[in-house]
Structure 1
């Protein structure tokens, strides 16, 4: 049974969520049946019930919706009916006429929070998390979450703190915004506090019927949504805003129906299915590699205390690993000292380190030098990692004696926030080294993708096509504001020219020069623009305070008016601008898959979203190809059209042509 029904001596009923077939409780069929039985029994035995406590036997309290079921919906009516059934059960619980308390011992997310909101009191342990993250999966809360949060917190607070961002609030933050009523110090205190509140509040009711929702801020909300979406094709935030506003115009039961209608439209749409597939199933697949039970590093050495090195040291320390942060500039390393981070300029201080992560400047000779300095000092079996973003791992491994223990660990900036790590196998990297590297990534609570060696690997190679395409548009005379709008409306988190400024324009030029020196480079229309920006205009990017944008006190102010030097009068179809960015990354990804750089479609999809900002609504770069209008043949036809207009870099690669001819897909 997914819910245990236990009566205590004083008439308090404890309903304990405990799905026997899952590690976490979800709103699956077993839950729906069990909740129906539990609520019916509570109603039948109401005269002998003094109160109800909702508890959990799992490590988390209640994880939310069952994503297997949600992804499978193709009938809006079926989705609408199921949402109404779930809400009806919770409505019966909160109108039982007895106090109901949620005793939250872990995460109460999505449907879990919606169950808790149907209780008259919410008490949690300090480590609990509460939130409605449905928007991050292309959905809206369909168990009453929109309606109840708006009535509980107010329209603006509910939208900005809970519904639109999908934030997972720690217990203290949830208490401060009003999602939580009380924090208990221990599991025993949690249940004791729930019982005490029930005894003190026998006539508890919900405020939904009488609450007055302030709608004075309503005129500003569409502007807030426009600012958040920037024209990107995400329907969930729009549906959430509409459901929230409309719910304030009617009684609570009618509001629940409105919420269900908006949910049904989302859950049967392809964008929600894409996002569920990427952010849950593909991400889980990337995290599921078998690595065995490996111990955490005893001591880590991070080489280089720049932005990347300092960030890597920070996440290692946060995971409980002692770190020695070495830089030739001791003061720079010392700026990041804390309990578990020891700054040093002395190689001897690295003695005994069994994990080494190098994060120095992208220069093969320099990287060889720093490894040569430390290899005889650190532990003899230390895992040797380079944070290079572009340099082939096999060539870098030539600078160490134990090339089988050498591997690429490519972090993304800012390291503490970015959830992905690209793990790169060199030609001689051992399976043991790969397992140890994956264990480090897992320890840091980040998602790994494993790729084989190549210049630029997967992420840097593909994002380079995106930034180059944006700059190529500028070379063609496309207005820079149109280029930025196109990338925003395609769904990219950062406009392409703004991203180039962040990366600095010297980076792609250095990558280009290294590739040409290795006989691997080809000319690109973006090259001349980058060279003029650096050499003629002296504007290499944000770090120097001048790039495609102007900056004041480190903040981006506006596009640099001097970009008019590149023309700015061309007016190609706006859809072409958007699709050029999406297509060029998709085409390069297919090449990576064909060459064996990528080894799985799931890692390509989640890696493209988490690592290089490919729009989340697509479900990932290969799923975008699969779901393009007309399928793979439709994508091929459009790619050829773009190639005819803008260059042969859009020519569909052989693997794509073969799959289109076979009638197969990447997924």
Structure 2
């Protein structure tokens, strides 16, 4: 066997070892599962074997199912259902084969790896605090399909099962032991396999609790075979799930159904219930979109696949950050967190120290929760040098300018900094809108000048938009990708242009929300519909966060960033200058922000912009999404975006575009190319040419195969 090693030791204990060839991790797919189940069957049928230990030759136990296999699954629903039933029969055969089976869990046991462990009679987990176990399939649009919902339910009860599965909770060894998901821990330095073998020889039992007569699902007042008594709990869970997902995530609805209906069955029938709901999930377009976007596209981007070929990894030692405000402080923190030495420079030592204190604040919160130690905090803070002296930057491999969005200020700082840094140092600007080629004119070495656009708050937002200027070299781009992946962020590479990709598309979202407000759509409707379609926040609330003054400043530098009719700029000026509403920071924006109170939409909007009696809720949502999608396509059409997948990654991670759609480009395929074109035409006729489609997109729609223009599935 190529992926599973099998041996019987002198004490007649069978060791089944996962060691998938040509892969850094153990993954479950048809080939590896076939070998695994063949090995289990061999051990069960061999009369000599006293028990079985399932372990791993890699640093992790089993990482889970091969998501690319699921994404490209092209057999029928019936074939999928039968495949799952076969898997369940093999797992049940392991449970009921009469031989005690122990999972010796090292590293990570996630998804399908956790499910294999749950089907064992005893679980021993290495006590390293970095190890994790959990059913994490919901994070990629799926849910456990190898018995996880039903075994979790029978071990933890419905409340924890629903919470842990829908939240994709990864438990530490100590948490797993407390919950009973593992039976014992293996302290550092002790032999995990030896402990597993010792349990088999001393007390190995080959029976699962749920196979004993009279078994009752924990946390329910009734036994298997009855539903009354748990219905109320599941009704509340369904309501809460809908409030969170608004019905956009089929996998959440299906996992709740599998758990609910499985609770009233014996194990074998419950597994059939799980299989049916898993098939419904796998064949939904939302799940395919989530897998493709979150696992394939974002996963590849996080690995630095955008890096130009032929360049060795850049070894960074010291990074300089210019500006210790919110952005600069955040960049300094994540850089130090990645083990880099950091020089944090501001106009005064006091400001620089204030920026450094951000790291202390974040880490102190983690210390209170037990996620770090004071020693680690002290080490991290020791990596950040706060200063007001440019000379301190001389040994930096990379300098990132993160000052106010003012071109003259940025140019001045560029000249001052290049006078002291080394010839091979890279200079990056954290600008969100000003073209890199334009800023590079102040540089004496434009080939080493690049854009690194971070998002706030830096320590929580995973995306970094790397902007390539006209003279930026491939070597500089390669080094920038190395830095972004070193600090564990996800890079997308875009070509130069005012607003680049994210800022430009974000602007269209805000513009459309404000225009609808002025047309008389109630502000609460605009905000609530935005959340209902899967956006994290409405356009009015997010405008308050970035401030209308900033948006007006950006528009004054390049009118092309606003709408073609100039209506948005007029409205923004009216709101700021006539009504004095600009931002959350000022306490007065589209919302009121009372000191110590809860924000609320300003009630006077209905008097300023008389509200419509009848509005189309679907159209409100479509306008917000179409505004972003159409402009994103224009970015692709003009070459600002290099590939459709970059737009999808950037929109999901940077803009909060609904992940179930797959991202801004996938959205066209999600709606259906022809349907998208027809709806855009209606919007353009009713609301203006900003909804008109470029000729190249119309041509793609006309030639679309299977009503899709970007991805086959």
Give yes or no for TM over 0.5: yes
**Pairing partner for 1:571 from 586, 606, 614:** 614
Q: Please give the per-residue CA displacement for 1:401-428, whole angstroms capped at 9, x wherever unaligned.
A: 1111010111112212222211100011
Aligned partner of 1:289 in structure 2 is: 306
Query: Are positions 1:309 and 2:328 aligned together?
Result: yes
Question: What displacement does 1:377 show?
Answer: 2.2
Query: Are positions 1:561 and 2:603 aligned together?
Result: yes
Question: What displacement does 1:260 show?
Answer: 0.6
- Runs of 4 or more consecutive aligned structure 1 residues displaced over 6 Å after TM superposition: 518-521
Contact 2:318 2:341 in 1 (8 A): yes
CA 1:346–1:393: 2 relative to 1, 3 Å: same
Unaligned 5+ segments in structure 2 are 220-229, 360-380
1:114 match: secondary structure: helix
Question: What displacement does 1:170 show?
Answer: 4.4
Q: Please give the per-residue CA displacement for 1:423-450, whole angstroms capped at 9, x wherever unaligned.
A: 1000110111000000011112222111
Q: Please give the per-residue CA displacement for 1:506-553, whole angstroms capped at 9, x wherever unaligned.
A: 22222111113x898744443344334322333322233332223355
Contact 1:99 1:201 in 2 (8 A): no
Aligned partner of 2:576 in structure 1 is: 534
Contact 1:451 1:457 in 2 (8 A): yes
Query: Are positions 1:197 and 2:199 aligned together?
Result: yes
Query: Are positions 1:221 and 2:217 aligned together?
Result: no
Unaligned 5+ segments in structure 1 are none
TM-score (norm 2): 0.88
Whole-angstrom CA distance in 2 between matches of 1:393 and 1:173:
48
Number of aligned residue pairs: 661
Whole-angstrom CA distance in 1 between matches of 2:132 and 2:275:
25
Aligned partner of 1:666 in structure 2 is: 710
Contact 2:307 2:477 in 1 (8 A): no
Query: Are positions 1:92 and 2:135 aligned together?
Result: no
Contact 1:122 1:181 in 2 (8 A): yes
Aligned partner of 2:519 in structure 1 is: 476
Query: Are positions 1:649 and 2:690 aligned together?
Result: yes
Q: Please give the per-residue CA displacement for 1:234-274, whole angstroms capped at 9, x wherever unaligned.
A: 11111111111222222222111111110001111211111
Moved more, 585-594 or 119-128: 119-128
1:531 match: secondary structure: helix
Whole-angstrom CA distance in 1 between matches of 2:586 and 2:43:
67
Aligned partner of 2:12 in structure 1 is: 11
Whole-angstrom CA distance in 2 between matches of 1:277 and 1:507:
35
Contact 1:55 1:102 in 2 (8 A): yes
Whole-angstrom CA distance in 1 between matches of 2:545 and 2:358:
22
Contact 1:139 1:266 in 2 (8 A): yes
Contact 1:213 1:248 in 2 (8 A): no
CA 1:666–1:203: 2 relative to 1, 3 Å: closer
Contact 1:25 1:63 in 2 (8 A): yes
1:23 match: secondary structure: coil
Q: Please give the per-residue CA displacement for 1:558-596, whole angstroms capped at 9, x wherever unaligned.
A: 322222222232533211111111111111111111111
Map 1:157-236 to 2 at 5 A: 157-160=160-163, 162-175=164-177, 177-186=179-188, 189-203=191-205, 205-209=207-211, 210-214=215-219, 215=230, 217-229=233-245, 231-236=246-251
Whole-angstrom CA distance in 1 between matches of 2:275 and 2:134:
19
Aligned partner of 2:504 in structure 1 is: 461
Whole-angstrom CA distance in 2 between matches of 1:175 and 1:191:
18
Whole-angstrom CA distance in 2 between matches of 1:179 and 1:526:
56
1:336 match: secondary structure: helix
2:451 match: secondary structure: strand
**Pairing partner for 2:267 from 243, 248, 252:** 252
Moved more, 544-553 or 272-281: 544-553
Aligned partner of 1:118 in structure 2 is: 119
Q: Please give the per-residue CA displacement for 1:305-349, whole angstroms capped at 9, x wherever unaligned.
A: 222111111111111111111122234234236132222222222
Aligned partner of 2:283 in structure 1 is: 268
Aligned partner of 1:432 in structure 2 is: 475
Question: What displacement does 1:178 show?
Answer: 4.6
2:355 match: secondary structure: helix
Aligned partner of 2:224 in structure 1 is: none
Aligned partner of 1:332 in structure 2 is: 354
Question: What displacement does 1:100 show?
Answer: 2.4
RMSD, aligned CA: 2.3
CA 1:61–1:552: 2 relative to 1, 3 Å: farther
2:382 match: secondary structure: coil
Aligned partner of 1:348 in structure 2 is: 391
Whole-angstrom CA distance in 2 between matches of 1:341 and 1:173:
34
Question: What displacement does 1:651 show?
Answer: 0.3
Question: What displacement does 1:277 show?
Answer: 1.4
Aligned partner of 2:376 in structure 1 is: none
Aligned partner of 2:106 in structure 1 is: 105
2:599 match: secondary structure: strand
CA 1:232–1:222: 2 relative to 1, 3 Å: closer
Query: Are positions 1:547 and 2:564 aligned together?
Result: no
**Pairing partner for 1:494 from 534, 537, 542:** 537
2:17 match: secondary structure: strand
Question: What displacement does 1:34 show?
Answer: 0.9
Query: Are positions 1:148 and 2:151 aligned together?
Result: yes
Q: Please give the per-residue CA displacement for 1:475-523, whole angstroms capped at 9, x wherever unaligned.
A: 110011111222112211222222222222222222111113x898744
CA 1:239–1:344: 2 relative to 1, 3 Å: same
Moved more, 186-195 or 340-349: 186-195
CA 1:201–1:513: 2 relative to 1, 3 Å: farther
1:544 match: secondary structure: coil
Question: What displacement does 1:74 show?
Answer: 4.8
Moved more, 363-372 or 421-430: 363-372
Aligned partner of 2:227 in structure 1 is: none
Whole-angstrom CA distance in 1 between matches of 2:204 and 2:252:
38
CA 1:187–1:443: 2 relative to 1, 3 Å: farther
Whole-angstrom CA distance in 2 between matches of 1:182 and 1:533:
63
